Amino acid sequence: MKQSDFFPSISISIALLLLVLFSGCAQVNNQAKVSLADIQILEIRALETAFLIELRIMNATESPFLVKGIECDLDVDGNNFASGVAGEQHEIPAYGSAIIPVTVYASALDVVPSVIRIIQSNKSQQQPLRYELSGHIRLGSNNSLRKTLPFQSKGELSFAGLR
Does pLDDT of 9 surpass 80? no
Note the pLDDT of residue 148: 87
Q: Give, as one character, the DSSP assignment of residue 155.
A: E
Domains of the chain: 32-157 (2.60.40.10)
pLDDT band (50, 70, 90) for residue 157: confident
Average pLDDT over residues 105-117: 77
Does pLDDT of 101 surpass 80? yes
* CA dihedral over 96, 101, 105, 110, signed as positive or negative: positive
pLDDT band (50, 70, 90) for residue 66: very high
The per-residue b/e assignment along 108-146, b for 16 or more CB within 10 angstroms, e otherwise, is eebbeebeeebeeeeeeeeeebebbbebebbbbeeeeee
Name the more confident of 24 and 59.
59
- Strand-pairing partners, residue 73, are 83, 134
Q: What is the pTM of this model?
A: 0.71
Note the pLDDT of residue 90: 94
Note the pLDDT of residue 109: 80
* CA dihedral over 110, 156, 70, 37, signed as positive or negative: positive
Q: What's the Rg (C-alpha) of the chain?
A: 21
Does pLDDT of 161 surpass 80? no
Average pLDDT over residues 122-151: 77
Most confident of the ranges 42-56, 101-115, 140-154:
42-56
Note the pLDDT of residue 99: 96
Name the more confident of 136 and 157.
136
- Alpha-carbon distance values, 121 to 85, 109, 116, 128, 149 (Å): 31, 19, 9, 10, 36
Note the pLDDT of residue 162: 42
CA distance 125 to 52: 27
